[in-house]
């Protein structure tokens, strides 16, 4: 039997040349093609794009060959393309889905296979299970050589940028940002976000400075293209060195956004999500539901109460968020990893649009990023302090041993706070007195256990995390 491919939090990811091989990639593409055909999409089109990881363009071409052989038309991006741009292209081209070759924020040796539906958003868990079930042995994979498919018009290469740029111009006043006179530092993390902010904001008073804007699949000066510390420390230092007004950080495929303030301090991703919601609700006066994962900030619940909008909580991953956003016509959806999606756009994380929203919030209010954080806290009536510990798991056996220990744990207090309840929707979330929480869960994309917490006091964070480690037996 061939290697069994399993979809995690966001698609399938593996180590290049180990389990992530051309053979397994083609098998995965055949499973997706069969799923599309099962839905009655024969002859319809699918978008395929990729990031800047090692051989991503070759893996994308291999997936295109399989889809073309199965009677699906393929729109293949002509170069590395941000995930949100690929997602928008699904709608723009009237396609029925997408394949995206990217491992997002994973370590350099990984690559991945993401799939999307006709909305450009993540396919729901039931759909992913069906794709998994349809993944065949390699002998049953169909394949049409790309040269033949291009000649026959079954694969068409295209530039996805112009249509996306025209689209986001309807969602944010780019001209206002251009004339604001900001100095914007951008850390592209060697990924797909390179060149986008300079292109969008050229021709005005605002100046954009980029670092890590070349292709380098080794990701120097960081352990991985994930927009959190210490990966972003070089970018934070460059912000103060250049006296920039803000730091925007896009991850490897540019669907996530990290933020640094004018003082070179990191604005963590929970605070950043709070800022995105605050901007839409307070500055732009919009209303609509908020969708958040259980690992995301309580600031959203507080803001939901202030502005009288519903807040829905899901499991971790856009395979839960995207369907819920579509169902509720949500104003915003997002997760702890720094991915935020917005109404009016596709239900997919968009680090580029989120960055423009941050700049527009600064332009409209005249406030610096650090001041905006304090304004958001004042509106929510509570402050937020957060941190996360990741530990590598040695084996599947260790994972199960930890799961059993955490499942049996019933501490009266954690970090000195009374335990109120335990939410097992996705991992083990210990709800504590005063709104604080501790979450212990296993990563859906890597062999990691993550321990997260949020509380209203900076002095309590480490106590909560240390108790989390004890609960897990680490």
Which CATH number does the domain housing residue 56 bear?
3.40.120.10
- The verdict on 187 and 81 lying in the same domain is no
Q: What's 401's domain CATH number?
A: 3.30.310.50
- pLDDT tens string, the chain, 474 residues long: the values are 688 999 987 889 999 999 999 999 999 999 999 999 999 999 999 999 999 999 999 999 999 999 999 999 999 999 999 999 999 999 999 999 999 999 999 999 999 999 999 999 999 999 999 999 999 999 999 999 999 999 999 999 999 999 999 999 999 999 999 999 999 999 999 999 999 999 999 999 999 999 999 999 999 999 999 999 999 999 999 999 999 999 999 999 999 999 999 999 999 999 999 999 999 999 999 999 999 999 999 999 999 999 999 999 999 989 899 999 999 999 999 999 899 999 999 999 999 999 999 999 999 999 999 999 999 999 999 999 999 999 999 898 999 999 999 999 989 999 999 999 999 999 999 999 999 999 999 988 788 999 999 999 999 999 999 999 999 999
The span from the CA of 136 to the CA of 143, in Å, is 13
- The verdict on 375 and 392 lying in the same domain is no
The span from the CA of 421 to the CA of 373, in Å, is 30
- The verdict on 187 and 306 lying in the same domain is yes
**What's the confidence (pLDDT) of residue 377?**
98
| Other CB atoms within 10 A of residue 214 CB | 11
Note whether residue 102 is domain-resident: yes
**What's the confidence (pLDDT) of residue 8?**
82
- The verdict on 238 and 297 lying in the same domain is yes
- The verdict on 401 and 352 lying in the same domain is no
**What's the confidence (pLDDT) of residue 394?**
86
Q: How far is CA 435 from CA 276, 306, 341, 384, 418, in A?
A: 21, 16, 25, 10, 10
- The verdict on 227 and 353 lying in the same domain is yes
How many domains, the chain? 3
For the record, the structure tokens of 254 come out as 């540019």
- The verdict on 101 and 148 lying in the same domain is yes
- The verdict on 131 and 20 lying in the same domain is yes
Q: Are 274 and 301 in contact (CB under 8 A)?
A: no
The rounded Cα 226 to chain-centroid distance in angstroms is 10
Alpha helices in 262-317 (DSSP H): 269-278, 299-307
- The verdict on 361 and 417 lying in the same domain is no
- The verdict on 256 and 322 lying in the same domain is yes
User: Which of 112, 127, 161 represents a domain boundary (last residue)?
Assistant: 161
Note whether residue 169 is domain-resident: no
Q: Are 312 and 328 in contact (CB under 8 A)?
A: yes
Q: Are 388 and 266 in contact (CB under 8 A)?
A: no
User: Which of 350, 380, 410 represents a domain boundary (last residue)?
Assistant: 380
Range of the domain at 48: 12-161
Note whether residue 167 is domain-resident: no
User: Which of 161, 188, 222 represents a domain boundary (last residue)?
Assistant: 161
- Angle, CA of 155, 160 and 161, to the nearest 5°: 160
- The verdict on 182 and 118 lying in the same domain is no
Note whether residue 7 is domain-resident: no
Note whether residue 438 is domain-resident: yes
Give the number of residues written for the chain: 474
Burial track 278-305 (b if 16+ CB lie within 10 A, e otherwise): bbbbbbeebebbbbbbbbbbbbbbbbbe
**Helix, strand, or coil here: 377?**
helix
Note whether residue 171 is domain-resident: no
- How would you classify the pairing of strands 98-101 and 110-116? antiparallel
Burial track 422-448 (b if 16+ CB lie within 10 A, e otherwise): eeeebbbbbbbeebbbbbbbbbbbbee
**Helix, strand, or coil here: 61?**
helix
- The verdict on 395 and 376 lying in the same domain is no
Note whether residue 166 is domain-resident: no
Note whether residue 313 is domain-resident: yes
Question: Which pTM value belongs to this model?
Answer: 0.95
Closest CA to 325 of 127, 122, 168, 171: 122
For the record, the structure tokens of 15 come out as 């180590």
The span from the CA of 148 to the CA of 160, in Å, is 23
**What's the confidence (pLDDT) of residue 437?**
97
């Amino acid at each position: 039997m061939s290697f069994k491919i399993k979809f995690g939090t966001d698609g399938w990811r593996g180590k290049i040349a180990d389990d992530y091989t051309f053979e397994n990639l083609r098998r995965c593409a055949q499973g997706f093609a069969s799923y599309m055909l099962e839905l009655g999409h024969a002859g319809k089109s699918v978008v395929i794009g990729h990031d800047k990881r090692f051989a991503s363009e070759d893996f994308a071409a291999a997936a295109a060959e399989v889809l073309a052989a199965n009677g699906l038309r393929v729109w293949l991006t002509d170069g590395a393309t941000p995930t949100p741009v690929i997602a928008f292209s699904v709608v723009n081209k009237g396609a029925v889905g997408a394949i995206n070759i990217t491992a997002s924020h994973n370590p350099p040796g990984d690559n991945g296979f993401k799939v999307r539906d006709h909305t450009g958003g993540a396919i729901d868990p039931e759909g992913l299970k069906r794709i998994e079930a349809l993944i065949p042995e390699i002998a049953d994979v169909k394949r049409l050589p790309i040269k033949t498919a291009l000649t026959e018009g079954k694969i068409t290469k295209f530039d996805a940028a112009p249509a996306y740029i025209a689209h986001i111009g309807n969602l944010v006043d780019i001209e206002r940002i251009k004339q604001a006179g900001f100095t914007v530092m951008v850390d592209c993390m060697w990924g797909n976000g390179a060149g986008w902010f300079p292109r969008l904001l050229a021709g005005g008073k605002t100046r954009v400075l980029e670092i890590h804007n070349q292709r380098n699949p080794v990701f120097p000066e960081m352990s991985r293209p994930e927009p959190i510390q210490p990966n972003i420390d070089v970018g934070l230092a460059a912000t103060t060195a250049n006296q920039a007004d803000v730091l925007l950080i896009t991850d490897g495929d540019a669907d996530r956004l990290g933020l640094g303030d004018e003082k070179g301090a990191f604005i963590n991703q929970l605070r950043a999500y709070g800022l995105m919601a605050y901007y839409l609700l307070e500055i732009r006066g919009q209303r609509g539901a908020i969708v958040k994962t259980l690992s995301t900030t309580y600031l959203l619940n507080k803001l939901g109460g202030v502005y009288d909008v519903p807040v829905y909580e899901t499991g971790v991953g856009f395979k839960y968020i995207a369907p819920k956003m579509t169902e509720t016509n949500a104003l915003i959806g997002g997760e702890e990893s720094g991915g935020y999606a917005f109404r009016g756009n596709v239900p997919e994380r968009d680090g580029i649009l989120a960055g423009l929203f941050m700049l527009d919030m600064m332009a409209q209010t005249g406030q610096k990023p650090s001041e905006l954080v304090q304004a958001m806290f004042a509106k929510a009536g509570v402050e937020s302090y957060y941190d996360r510990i990741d530990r590598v798991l040695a084996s599947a056996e260790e994972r199960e041993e930890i799961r059993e220990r955490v499942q049996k744990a019933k501490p009266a207090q954690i970090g000195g706070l009374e335990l109120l309840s335990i939410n097992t929707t996705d991992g083990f979330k210990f709800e504590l007195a005063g709104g604080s929480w501790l979450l212990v869960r296993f990563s859906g994309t890597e062999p990691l256990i993550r321990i997260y917490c949020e509380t209203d006091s900076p002095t309590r964070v480490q106590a909560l995390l240390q108790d989390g480690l004890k609960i897990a037996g680490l």
